[in-house]
Amino acid sequence: MATTSYTAIVEKEGAGYVALCPELDVASQDDTVESATANLKEAVELLLECADPAEVTRRRSYCMSSRSR
């Protein structure tokens, strides 16, 4: 089974942390870096399991086109 790696960007925001996967435009938050990252991982997994494949492709394509600007 092939695996794909995604980026996780974690930033402090207020009293908590926000985690973002820019390739899929998915974000999550929580009180600690570890829990924000775990929430993001779960959100990405759910997107990849449940979303229409065309939606995942659209999100990846949008990210790649945004980077080339």
- pLDDT tens profile 6-48: 999 999 999 999 999 999 999 999 999 999 999 999 999 999 9
Q: Which residues contact 57 (CB under 8 A, 6 or more apart)?
A: none
Q: Please tell me the predicted confidence (pLDDT) of residue 67.
A: 62
Q: Where are the domains of the chain?
A: 9-67
Q: Please tell me the predicted confidence (pLDDT) of residue 27.
A: 97
Q: Please tell me the predicted confidence (pLDDT) of residue 60.
A: 85
Asked if residues 28 and 44 have their Cβ atoms less than 8 Å apart, the reply is no
Q: In the structure, what pLDDT confidence band is assigned to residue 50 with cuts at 50, 70 and 90?
A: very high
The structure's pTM equals: 0.83
For residue 63, give the nearest of 33, 32, 2, 20 by alpha carbon: 20
